[in-house]
Amino acid sequence: MSYKIAICSGKGGTGKTTVAVNLFSTIQTKWTKNVQLVDCDVEEPNDLLFFKDAKIINRSIVNQSVPVIDESQCTFCRKCEEYCEFNAISIIPSVKYASVDPNMCHSCGACLHACKFGAIQEHQHPIGELTNYSRGNQTDILEGSLKIGSPMQTKIIKDLKANASEESDILIYDAPPGTSCPVVETVSAADFVILVTEPTPFGLYDLRLTVNLMKEMQKDFGIVVNKAGLGDREVYAYLKEEEIELLAEIPFNREYAGQYAQGKLLSDIPPLIEQEYMKLAIYLKNRMNHD
Amino acid sequence: MIEITILSGKGGTGKTGITAAFASLANNTVFADIDVDAPDLHLILEPEIKEENQFLGARIAKIDTQICTNCGFCIKECRFDAIHYRTEGGLEVNPFECEGCRLCERICPFKAISSEHSTNNHWFVSDTRFGTMLHAKMGPGEENSGKLVTTVRKNAKEKAREQNADFLLNDGPPGVGCSAIASLTGVDKVILVTEPSKSGFHDAVRLIELVQKFEIPLYAVINKCDINSEITKQMEYFFITQGIQLLGKIPFNEDMVNAIVNRKSIIEYKPDSEIAEKIKEMWNKVTEPIKELK
């Protein structure tokens, strides 16, 4: 079994991807080659932008099962419409109209149980794709990407996680922002969660929401403060008060922000920043041995 | 009434800071924070809550262990792997995995399963120093943020009509998934706030594709434009090819962060700064053609 680390934030743009990519690289070069980076931010996957040497190993389509109603078999009884909790089915008996909106459908299968006339069958509807990348011999970066217009991000994350190798020593999940179902799906299997925040009122407010989610999900977690030096000191007071562990502090560095902009996160890393990632990797190694 | 949603694709490009700045410039406008996952606009607008409403979230299944015979039929049929055997015996539903489809409830041969709406979500109508604001508080890990977005927008629109407001300004969520879709269906205009980084650009392109699918007129703002002037140029060129009007460019300045620390919009915090001037120009570009129509 792999040791699974999820990187989350609540607020967007705090530096999840920056931390995930750097941590992955630190672990790969200094600890074990057998690590996979899994980009679970399927709405806006960005990890690959930082690995120009990565080659596609495999790409597959993610499908969702969507019911299709055969109007020649349908009696327009509306039972399926009643069963559908997601308002994806519309039946108008007077004009013999029956249709399913794939963008509303959650593929739960309830309508199949509702129909007693065999009028509903499931068809495959593409909602995104999974890609495996490699920079050597084996897959080390996995990405899920949601098809534009589909609201089924959680299903892609589920398939993406299943696609990662349990043979890896470590899996790093780069989570989407927010605190709702896609984040829950990403974090659900994680052994440890790193919450990345920034020292601003926005960062702190959303950190509190995410900490509540972690407590509810009974996850072990620690904090990385990114862009340290900007904003204020409130986040540190909060961590102390709540007795939450501060794992690393990445100082704000305008030059390095410019490098990030160009996709050059992994070259010319300022020594102070490199040191913080080493500290984080060592912490995780101890934690993993302890768990 | 014109409804405008501010979106970005990538998070952290400055949507909320810019929404707050527009809020301090706008007259006769209603505001809505529809980033219900991680709402922050209230930290600047400091709303005084006038009305609190409960939003019924997704249903969550519950198994009555007194009736359940452990037949396992529901486990087999649940497509979300939300039902598990407990180590101490019996079955249980993992509320985080349950999608609330009620399939198990309907097929249980012993009628041992029921479901209840989650009551963890609330939405509010509030007064702020800039006008009425609608916002929400979602329970952790909730299933239905898209529906909550729709509810907040629907009520914000009603308020805006009631007040005969000129604008409804929505501070939107990051991404392009269900919350982003719910935040833009049927709006009159979208303002894209982006930043000149590879990831900012990549994410903006995905958002633009989504907005174009819905055929909504789109404006763009390049925030922190001097972080990488090369990418800024590429973005400007791209916007031209896509027929997207660039409202303006804002250089990186710690004053934007300091304004937030002081719970003020940049317009209030540094009214005579270059950034404030630029944002005023942008807001005029959005509102003037509409005023002329009146």
**Tell me: the pLDDT tens digits for A225-241?**
999 999 999 999 999 99
What is the H or E stretch that residue B285 is in? Answer: helix B274-293
Same domain, A118 and A149: no
pLDDT (average), residues B29-53: 97
- Compute CA distances B94 → A86, A219, B63, B84, B120, whole Å: 20, 15, 11, 8, 16
Position A85 in a domain: yes
B177 with A108: Cβ contact below 8 A: no
Same domain, A8 and A146: yes
Distance from CA of A86 to the nearest CA of B (A): 8
A149 with B254: Cβ contact below 8 A: no
In chain A, residues with a C-beta closer than 8 Å to the C-beta of B196 are 261
B10 with A12: Cβ contact below 8 A: yes
- Between A and B, how many residue pairs show a Cβ–Cβ distance under 8 A? 184
Same domain, A99 and A35: no
pLDDT surpasses 90 at B253: yes
Query: What single letter denotes the amino acid at residue A43?
Result: E
Same domain, A176 and A35: yes
Q: How far apart are CA A208 and CA A212, in angstroms?
A: 6
Position A75 in a domain: yes
User: Would you state the pLDDT for residue A20?
Assistant: 97
User: What's the whole-number average pLDDT of chain A?
Assistant: 95
Report the candidate in A198, A118, A12, A245 with the shortest Cα–Cα distance to residue B177.
A12
Specify whether the CB–CB gap between A194 and A220 falls below 8 A.
Answer: no
User: Would you state the pLDDT for residue B293?
Assistant: 67
Position A179 in a domain: yes
Domain extent at residue A69: 64-126
B80 with A108: Cβ contact below 8 A: yes
- With cut-offs at 50, 70 and 90, classify the pLDDT of residue B17: very high
Q: How many domains does chain A have?
A: 2
Distance from CA of B150 to the nearest CA of A (A): 14
Distance from CA of A57 to the nearest CA of B (A): 22
B10 with A178: Cβ contact below 8 A: no
Torsions phi, psi for B73 (to 5 deg): -60, -40
In chain A, residues with a C-beta closer than 8 Å to the C-beta of B142 are 179-181
Specify whether the CB–CB gap between B140 and B36 falls below 8 A.
Answer: no
Pairing of strands A139-146, A120-134: antiparallel
- With cut-offs at 50, 70 and 90, classify the pLDDT of residue A104: confident
- With cut-offs at 50, 70 and 90, classify the pLDDT of residue A12: very high
- With cut-offs at 50, 70 and 90, classify the pLDDT of residue A204: very high
Report the candidate in A82, A72, A90 with the shortest Cα–Cα distance to residue A111.
A82
Same domain, A246 and A140: yes
Specify whether the CB–CB gap between B173 and A176 falls below 8 A.
Answer: no
Same domain, A154 and A235: yes
Cβ contacts of A126 within 8 Å, gap of 6 or more: A61, A62, A63, A64, A147
Same domain, A209 and A122: no
Same domain, A89 and A7: no
Same domain, A236 and A101: no
CA atoms within 13 A on the CB side of A37: 28
User: Would you state the pLDDT for residue B202?
Assistant: 97
pLDDT (average), residues A98-103: 92
pLDDT surpasses 90 at B53: yes
In chain B, residues with a C-beta closer than 8 Å to the C-beta of A216 are 140-141
Distance from CA of A116 to the nearest CA of B (A): 13
pLDDT (average), residues B192-205: 97
pLDDT (average), residues A145-173: 95
In chain B, residues with a C-beta closer than 8 Å to the C-beta of A42 are 177
B142 with A213: Cβ contact below 8 A: no
Distance from CA of B101 to the nearest CA of A (A): 6
Position A225 in a domain: yes
pLDDT (average), residues A149-159: 93
Q: What percentage of chain B carries pLDDT values higher than 70?
A: 99
pLDDT (average), residues B173-183: 95
Position A56 in a domain: no
B254 with A202: Cβ contact below 8 A: no
Q: What does the pLDDT look like over A28-67, one tens digit per residue?
A: 999 999 999 999 999 999 999 999 999 999 999 999 999 9
Same domain, A161 and A250: yes
Please report the domains of chain B, with CATH numbers, ordered by start residue: 2-56+121-293 (3.40.50.300), 59-117 (3.30.70.20)
User: Would you state the pLDDT for residue B87?
Assistant: 87
Same domain, A256 and A189: yes
End-of-domain residue from the set A126, A143, A166: A126
ipTM score of complex? 0.92
CATH number, domain of A99, equals 3.30.70.20
pLDDT surpasses 90 at A110: yes
- Chain B residue with the nearest C-alpha to that of A204: B40
Q: How far apart are CA B138 and CA A179, in angstroms?
A: 9
Same domain, A147 and A110: no
Q: How far apart are CA B122 and CA B137, in angstroms?
A: 5
pLDDT surpasses 90 at A10: yes
Position A59 in a domain: no
Q: What does the pLDDT look like over B97-125, one tens digit per residue?
A: 999 999 999 999 999 999 999 888 999 99
pLDDT surpasses 70 at B294: no
User: Would you state the pLDDT for residue A76?
Assistant: 96
End-of-domain residue from the set A90, A109, A126: A126
End-of-domain residue from the set A82, A109, A126: A126
Position A58 in a domain: no
SS3 of B78-124: the string is CCCCCEEECCCCCEEECCCCCCCCCHHHHHCCCCCEEEEECCCEEEE
CATH number, domain of A38, equals 3.40.50.300
User: What's the whole-number average pLDDT of chain B?
Assistant: 95
Six token digits for residue B200: 């900012």
pLDDT surpasses 90 at B80: yes
What is the H or E stretch that residue B125 is in? Answer: strand B121-128
pLDDT surpasses 90 at B208: yes
pLDDT surpasses 90 at A137: no
A11 with B38: Cβ contact below 8 A: yes
pLDDT (average), residues A202-211: 97
In chain A, residues with a C-beta closer than 8 Å to the C-beta of B230 are 262
* Closest residue to B203, CB basis, from A44, A200, A258: A44
Distance from CA of B83 to the nearest CA of A (A): 14
Position A14 in a domain: yes
